[in-house]
Amino acid sequence: RFEDGTVSFLDIIALKHGFDVLENLTGGMEKIKQHTFALAHYTYTMLSNLKYANGAPVVRIYSDTDFSNPDVQGPIINFNVLDENGEVIGFSQVDKMASLHNIHVRTGCFCNTGACQMHLDISNEDIQRNLQAGHVCGDNIDVVDGRPTGSVRISFGYMSSFEDAQTFLNFIIATTLSKSDHEIPFQSVTKLTTESVPDDHSSLNNADKLSPMLQISDGVLRNNLSVTRITANWQPPETEAESMRAAVSETAVPTCRKGGKPITVANIYLYPIKSCSAFEVTEWPVGNQGLLYDRNWMVVNQNGVCMTQKQEPRLCLVNPSIDLKQKIMVIQAEGMDPISVSLEDKREKEAVICESKVCSHRVKTYDCGERIADWFSVFLGRPCRLIRQSSDMKSKSHQKNTKGLSSATNISLSLVNEAQYLLINVASILQLKEHISARLEEPLEVEELIQRFRANIVVSAPESFEEEEWAEISIGALQFQVVGPCSRCQIICIDQQSGELNKEILQSLSAARGRKTNFGIYLMNQPLHSSFSDILSVGSQVLPVLKENTEIQPPTSSEEKCSG
């Protein structure tokens, strides 16, 4: 019924050959069923018996069976990871960490809203509240008001092995029993001055903290299986997920930041080509989509799919720069002759406008031609093309409804994922650097860390993470609304100078921030109606307005920062 056109009946003969090959490889579907169910049963038993030192379960499994009969239970396990207090750790955060270790999981509601509501105890009213909070299918809003909006699922197939199951279990063990559990997480300034952390904060730092139940179950299974323990030093982020799409409440009463040292703009970066190297400037014009020409271009593969550093880390070695006087973008890379692209490319008028996707957003683009496509294909060693966002379709093709912006109902975006600007604080970088340096053999330089976080605006503020308490900011004549924190992915693990991957960066961020991967804040520009030119400059003073009931009060000593 869902066939578009005639069924491919000539290919039906291939089914017999496919089943014959499957029979030869595995011995048939009955053996596949027994094999995959054995893996699921083993993993289910181990997961069910994983306990924290306080006796709390590590996971909550959602199932209608007890995994005793393969005729009624398939080889999948659906669950959520819990912290030691029984709170759900968001599925998107677990997914990010799993991907670092080459473990593929599926997350969300799995196109099965009814089962999701039943097992997660989500009412119809909860569904409506989640939608009002900005949650839609396929996004990363995994916890709303402390309750999960979905879960994590693993599946086994005929090619899966017990080693795969053991690797996954060790991954979960490392998640909950990391040695960094005993470290005091970095918190925002407000939390440091208003919340206390008990001196006898319990730590879970090794696998010996597992409950006897796990050891017994493990021992029984060791008769038939060789279990190899893998250690890792990381945690998933905390369960209190802050949505990247969360906007400041319209009813919030902002408070101006009181006293303290002035905050200034330290660096300005734009990224003309999405996922390529940064272009640093001292001052730059602001357009209606953010910094002028920021992420106006992107590289796509031969199928037209956007390529990022997740798929092609060498993109960070491509160095684009903008010459406003000559109205060109110059692209350079080691071993390649420089090549230029006009900022006023007349090709757009003649080109066919195509629809592309950036995350879940649909954008109108056009191809930049064979010459630049050949350049990128040679450098990356694979067929690819450079495309540019269509200028006459910007306002219609990629907009974001942003609650809390008084000047506009729709904010136009370039080829960014979430917002027009990303801001980070040097003080936060310095505190994170201390934590990472303690975990790495070769400490990172501040400049290298700044490059990894790929911000547009870098500010120098007195207190680390005080930017997380801002509701809006003014920089010169420009006004910006804070629309939420930036939840980080594995791109920060990529050295922006070499393209090399170091998993420890994201793991350290998670451990340092108390099971969160948030770092930096997203900004949207509030259009001004004044005679001032819209120019963002290094050295400009930043004037933040705080969220409701927030007052920055710097700790009086380093000891207070750790324990208060």
Strands (E), 85-202: 88-89, 106-108, 143-144, 147-148, 151-155
Q: If we measure between CA atoms, which residue out of 518, 300, 313, 563 comes closest to residue 418?
A: 518
Give all strands of the β-sheet with 290-291 in edge-to-edge order. Answer: 290-291, 283-287, 535-537
pLDDT tens track for 110-130:
888 899 999 999 999 988 888
Phi, psi of 547 (to 5 degrees): -65, 170
pLDDT tens track for 342-356:
998 666 555 666 766
pLDDT tens track for 222-268:
333 332 222 233 233 333 333 323 333 333 344 555 566 899 999 99
Domains and CATH numbers, the chain: 12-176 (3.90.1150.10), 259-269+416-548 (2.40.33), 296-391 (no CATH)
The pLDDT of residue 352: 61
The pLDDT of residue 256: 57
Counting residues of the chain whose pLDDT is more than 70, the rounded percentage is 74
The pLDDT of residue 453: 96
Q: Are strands 263-270 and 106-108 parallel, antiparallel or unpaired?
A: unpaired
- SS3 of 29-70: the string is HHHHHHHHHHHHHHHHHHHHHCECCCCCECEEEECCCCCCCC
Beta bridge partners of 57: 51
Can you tell me the distance from the alpha carbon of 389 to that of 351, in angstroms, rounded to the nearest whole number? 12
CB atoms within 10 A of CB 175: 23
CB atoms within 10 A of CB 223: 6
Structure confidence at residue 218 as a pLDDT band (50, 70, 90): very low
The pLDDT of residue 165: 95
CB atoms within 10 A of CB 361: 16
The pLDDT of residue 288: 83
Q: If we measure between CA atoms, which residue out of 218, 199, 223, 198 comes closest to residue 208?
A: 218
Handedness of CA 185, 444, 487, 420 (dihedral sign): positive
pLDDT tens track for 318-328:
999 999 999 99
pLDDT over 60 (residue 530): no
Can you tell me the distance from the alpha carbon of 349 to that of 419, in angstroms, rounded to the nearest whole number? 28
Q: If we measure between CA atoms, which residue out of 201, 188, 186, 204 comes closest to residue 83?
A: 204
Contact call for residues 329 and 339 (beta carbons, < 8 A) = no
pLDDT over 60 (residue 191): no
The 3-state DSSP class for residue 23 equals helix
Residue with the larger pLDDT of the pair 228 and 270: 270
pLDDT tens track for 435-477:
888 877 777 889 999 999 999 999 999 999 999 999 999 998 8
- Exposed (0-12), middle (13-18) or buried (19+): which is 115, by Cβ within 10 Å? middle
- Exposed (0-12), middle (13-18) or buried (19+): which is 546, by Cβ within 10 Å? buried
Q: If we measure between CA atoms, which residue out of 423, 489, 425, 431 comes closest to residue 187?
A: 431
The pLDDT of residue 359: 60
Contact call for residues 390 and 397 (beta carbons, < 8 A) = yes
410: tokens are 């729709």
130: tokens are 């989640």
From 109, 111, 256, 489, the catalytic residue: 111
Q: What is the DSSP string of 446-490?
A: HHHHHHHTT-SEEEE-SSTTGGGGEEEEEETTEEEEEEEEEEP-G
The pLDDT of residue 428: 95
Chain-centre distance for alpha carbon 198:
31
494: tokens are 């990529």
**46 HSE (CA, 13 A, CB side):** 24
The pLDDT of residue 455: 96
**500 HSE (CA, 13 A, CB side):** 5
pLDDT tens track for 371-413:
999 999 999 999 999 999 987 654 343 455 444 444 444 567 8
Structure confidence at residue 504 as a pLDDT band (50, 70, 90): confident
Amino acid identity, residue 328?
I
Can you tell me the distance from the alpha carbon of 398 to that of 364, in angstroms, rounded to the nearest whole number? 8
Beta bridge partners of 179: none
| Length of the chain (residues) | 564
The pLDDT of residue 235: 33
Counting residues of the chain whose pLDDT is more than 90, the rounded percentage is 50
Residue with the larger pLDDT of the pair 489 and 356: 489
The pLDDT of residue 187: 44
356: tokens are 């592309």
**564 HSE (CA, 13 A, CB side):** 13
Can you tell me the distance from the alpha carbon of 146 to that of 43, in angstroms, rounded to the nearest whole number? 27
pLDDT tens track for 406-446:
444 456 788 887 889 999 999 999 999 988 888 777 778 89
Average confidence score pLDDT of the chain = 78
Structure confidence at residue 304 as a pLDDT band (50, 70, 90): confident
pLDDT tens track for 197-213:
333 333 323 333 333 33
Residue with the larger pLDDT of the pair 361 and 214: 361
Residue with the larger pLDDT of the pair 414 and 312: 312
368 is annotated as an active-site residue: no
Query: 178-192, 341-355, 383-397, 488-502: lowest mean pLDDT where?
Result: 178-192
The pLDDT of residue 348: 55
Q: Are strands 283-287 and 535-537 parallel, antiparallel or unpaired?
A: antiparallel
**Range 38-50 average pLDDT:** 95
**Range 539-563 average pLDDT:** 59
The pLDDT of residue 17: 94
Q: Look-up: residue for tokens 């839609």?
A: 136
387: tokens are 């495309």
The pLDDT of residue 317: 97
The pLDDT of residue 416: 84
